[in-house]
């Protein structure tokens, strides 16, 4: 039975990002949510084991959000108990000179999870229609474009189409995709930045660049709304998670991942008749050992 969250936070119709309640946490308390997450992690581990054994499909989880939205901590608190052999995390930073010599999707192709595994993109190919839309000058590093005038609405339309084609291709070939936007308020981000500044153990998480990007908050919100609406599909749905309360976004993500894996109709491989007979022979040999 599916949780309520898979439908509640799915984006399937136009929305106004400014009207979304980033502080929503339902009727649960923090302690109740923690207990649910603990149970969910156990369920996730069992499903991931089945995915690994089944080997017919893979799962790609995409995490996007403003700085301090809670992407790293969500990975830690929700997916830390799955088998490390079957789960790979990729965190995408500014493209390298070599990566700029390829198309914008190339480096993401090389990081995709193989069948039987869960892949997590902490930031992703969506940076090319988010950061690069807010800072169009970054696209000039690709050496394909001549000036900022090249980055008109037709350019962005083509980028969205490339992403849609990429995700459809993955879906057709056995990779299930779910995309999470961790939606926080500007006030919540401010409080988390102050915490990073006040706590010596978290100073490394803060940089002057964070403040520069914060000044562009409205432009980022517009870029997120446009990207999500243009690319939320049945093959690769977007879910917008209220994330002012980290414990709530973790719970919602956990339940949606469980729902997704359960919908994949995974199964442990069944041994063939000859293989079973051979295993019984080996069992007899082992039982006779002293």
Supply the DSSP string of 155-193, one letter for each residue.
HHHHHHHHHHHHHHHHHHTTEEEEEEEEE--HHHHHHHH
Distances (CA, A) of 153 to 59, 148, 211, 285: 32, 12, 28, 71
Total domain count, the chain: 1
Q: What is the pLDDT of residue 290?
A: 76
Q: What is the pLDDT of residue 95?
A: 95
In contact, 44 and 52? CB cutoff 8 Å: no
In contact, 242 and 249? CB cutoff 8 Å: yes
In this structure, what DSSP letter does residue 130 have? T
Supply the DSSP string of 181-234, one letter for each residue.
EEE--HHHHHHHHHHHHH-GGGGGG--HHHHHHHTTHHHHHHHHHHHHHHH--S
In this structure, what DSSP letter does residue 10 have? B
Q: What is the pLDDT of residue 2?
A: 84
Domain span at 78: 5-288
Distances (CA, A) of 196 to 23, 140, 161, 205, 265: 20, 33, 38, 7, 42
Token pair for residue 210?
Answer: 């964070």
Rounded Cα distance between 97 and 29, Å, is 47
Q: What is the pLDDT of residue 44?
A: 97
pLDDT, averaged per 10 consecutive residues of the chain (290 residues), comes to: 92 96 96 96 96 97 97 94 92 94 96 97 97 96 93 97 98 98 98 96 92 96 98 98 98 98 95 90 90
- The CATH number given to whatever domain includes residue 20 is 3.40.50.300
């Amino acid at each position: 039975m599916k949780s309520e969250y898979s439908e509640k936070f799915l984006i399937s119709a136009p929305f106004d990002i400014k009207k979304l309640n980033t502080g929503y946490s339902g009727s649960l308390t923090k302690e109740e949510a923690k207990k649910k997450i603990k149970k969910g992690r156990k369920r996730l581990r069992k499903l991931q084991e089945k995915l690994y054994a089944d080997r017919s499909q893979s799962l790609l989880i995409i995490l996007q959000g403003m700085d301090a939205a809670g992407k790293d901590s969500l990975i830690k608190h929700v997916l830390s108990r799955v088998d490390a052999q079957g789960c790979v995390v990729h965190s995408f930073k500014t493209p390298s000179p070599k990566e700029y010599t390829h198309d914008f999707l190339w480096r993401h192709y090389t990081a995709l999870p193989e069948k039987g595994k869960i892949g997590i993109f902490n930031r992703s190919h969506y940076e090319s229609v988010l950061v690069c839309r807010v800072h169009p000058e970054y696209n000039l590093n690709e050496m394909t474009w001549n000036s900022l005038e090249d980055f008109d609405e037709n350019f962005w339309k083509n980028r969205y189409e490339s992403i849609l084609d990429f995700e459809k291709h993955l879906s057709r070939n056995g990779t299930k995709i779910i995309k999470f936007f961790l939606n926080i308020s500007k006030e919540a981000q401010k409080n988390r930045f102050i915490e990073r500044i006040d706590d010596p153990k978290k100073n490394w998480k803060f940089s002057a660049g964070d403040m520069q990007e914060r000044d562009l908050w409205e432009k980022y919100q517009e870029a997120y709304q446009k990207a999500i609406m243009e690319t939320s599909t049945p093959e690769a749905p977007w879910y917008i998670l209220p994330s002012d309360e980290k414990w709530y976004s973790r719970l919602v993500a956990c339940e949606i991942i469980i729902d997704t894996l359960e919908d994949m109709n995974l199964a442990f491989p069944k041994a063939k008749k000859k293989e079973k007979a051979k295993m019984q022979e080996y069992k007899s040999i082992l039982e006779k050992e002293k």
